[in-house]
Structure 1
Amino acid sequence: MADVVVRKFVVSVDEIFHEGGPVVGTPLRRASVLAVIENPFAGAYVEDISFFMDDLKPLGLEMARRLIDALGGDPAVVEGYGKGAIVGSAGELEHAALWHNPGGYSMRELLGDARAIVPSTKKVGGPGTRLDVPITHINASYVRSHFDAVEVGIGDAPRANEMVLALAMTTGPRVHARVGGLKASEIKGEDGLR
């Protein structure tokens, strides 16, 4: 067991009214929450790191709650989600992989019946590194209108011995989605894909 030491949180919400086309009545909201934490494995190769996923579960739940609150407090408005991590230079990519379960399952738990896998991305980088967090529909990964990304990053993180953990949610499709494919109204809900 390792302590999860948080240096700071950053929450961001975009409201998008148009992308050059007609103004929509209800803006698309895309939100992210980032946590800068100490990397307990920085600076050395550690064989057994998987236990840290359990240590990260409470943080995942707290971040997912913060994200839902940033979108107005009602989990029912969330239609898209994704996750990611940036590991500082004294760490390794596998440390970012520790965020897969606690980040994804925390959002799915708070959103209720979310069936689709939570898409993810990760990288190693220094302060100011940007990350494009992929977004898909919460119940069917093949809903093309919800394919999106939320760019995240913090000017002073991650430091060499830190990680930036990210969760992102959206309230709907891209504002002017019109490239066809499976529609949200056509989701069968059988397998998390369609």
Structure 2
Amino acid sequence: MPEVRIRKIATALEEIRHEGGPPAVQPLLRAAAMAVIENPFAGRYVADIQPFMEDLKPLGLDLARRLVAVLGGDPARVEGYGKGALVGSGGELEHGALWHAPGGYAMREVLGGAMAIVPSSKKVAGVGARLDVPVTHVNASYVRSHFDSMEVGLNDAPRADEMMVVLVMTTGPRVHNRAGGLAADQITGKDGLR
């Protein structure tokens, strides 16, 4: 299995106080952790790429722990999450799909067994590209107040032979959410949906 070669890791934190309405009682925090790594499959077709998912697991745990720390250190404070991958032009979309399990399960583990599927986005792109990472509630995907996203990107990544893998966590619903649907305090927590 290829070694995960990290060029750099970056974190970003947003503190959202309002979206044009009254100031929130508690600002929403959105944070992203991004790792720019060498794509061991860039420039060629490799049939069996699944073993690289195992290699990515420690990186997933590291990024998930960094996010909890950036958000104050208490995993119970995290209410939303998502993941994504930007693949450099020498790679293919399927290389970004290798981040699904290592990124998602890492966040679930660090958060103490979150129930909901971790939403994801991925694309092949050039240096400086941006990615919208979708976010849903950590225990119930149908909690509409927590449908969100965070735009991420770095000015020098991904290079053609790289990938940028991303995890995002949030501390609550969208500021000024009022679109109805299942409320967070109505979650039954049995199936990851409701």
Please report the TM-score for the alignment, with normalisation by the length of structure 1: 0.99
Structure 2 runs not aligned, ≥5 long: none
Which residue of 2 is the match for residue 64 of structure 1? 64
**Structure 1 segment 1-194 matched on structure 2, within 5 A:** 1-194=1-194
2:80 maps to a residue whose letter is G
What SS does the corresponding residue of 1:83 show, helix, strand or coil? strand
Deviation at 1:25, TM superposition (A): 2.0
Deviation at 1:24, TM superposition (A): 1.2
1:74-104: per-residue Cα shift (whole Å, max 9, x none)?
A: 1010000000000000000000000000000
Q: Distance in 2 between matches of 1:151 and 1:37?
A: 19
1:99-157: per-residue Cα shift (whole Å, max 9, x none)?
A: 00000000000001300000000000011110000000000000000000000001100
Q: Distance in 2 between matches of 1:120 and 1:25?
A: 29
Percent identity over the alignment? 69
CA RMSD, aligned part only? 0.5
Runs of 4+ in 1 over 3 A off after TM superposition: none
Q: Distance in 2 between matches of 1:113 and 1:177?
A: 26
Q: Distance in 2 between matches of 1:192 and 1:39?
A: 32
1:22 maps to a residue whose letter is P
> When the two structures are aligned, how many residues end up with a matched partner?
194
What SS does the corresponding residue of 2:12 show, helix, strand or coil? strand
1:33-70: per-residue Cα shift (whole Å, max 9, x none)?
A: 00000000001000000000000000000000111111
Q: Distance in 1 between matches of 2:179 and 2:55?
A: 41
